[in-house]
Amino acid sequence: MDDNQEFIDFKYEEITYRTTLTKKFAARTPYTPPDSRRVVAFIPGTILKVHVKEGNKVKKGDTLLVLQAMKMDNHLLASRNGTVKKVYVKQGEVVPKHHLLIELK
């Protein structure tokens, strides 16, 4: 055991444990909940069709665009009611995973 290890308190189900963290765990990116105003590519792919323009009002469940990935057409839907603030992609564009596609307000 290394004398330079730093112990932390880890609480689980009302019990506090004193432990160390691996370097990989300590350097991880913390989880942030998804923002329902931002539509991002969940997989790399090609934009087949954009169904909305800036300023369009959308309702929860409306199709915003179609992303083709792995030979499948994925219809990305609005997760909330709102207005399209900005469209960051156009038809035929190839996008990587986590790329911002559309922003709602």
d(CA 83, CA 52): 10
Give residue 105's pLDDT.
93
Give residue 2's pLDDT.
57
- Whether 3 has a pLDDT exceeding 80, the answer reads no
Give the mean pLDDT of 89-105. 97
Whether residue 3 lies inside any domain: the answer is no
Domain that holds residue 80: 38-104
Give pLDDT tens digits for 35-73.
Answer: 999 999 999 999 999 999 999 999 999 999 999 999 999
Whether residue 2 lies inside any domain: the answer is no
Whether residue 55 lies inside any domain: the answer is yes
Whether residue 17 lies inside any domain: the answer is no
Give the CATH number, domain containing residue 93.
Answer: 2.40.50.100
Q: Which amino acid is at 56?
A: N
Residue 95 in tokens = 């996008």
- Whether 94 has a pLDDT exceeding 60, the answer reads yes
- Whether 22 has a pLDDT exceeding 90, the answer reads no
Whether residue 57 lies inside any domain: the answer is yes
Give residue 45's pLDDT.
97
Whether residue 19 lies inside any domain: the answer is no
Q: Please, what is the Cα angle at 19 between 15 and 25, to 5 degrees?
A: 110
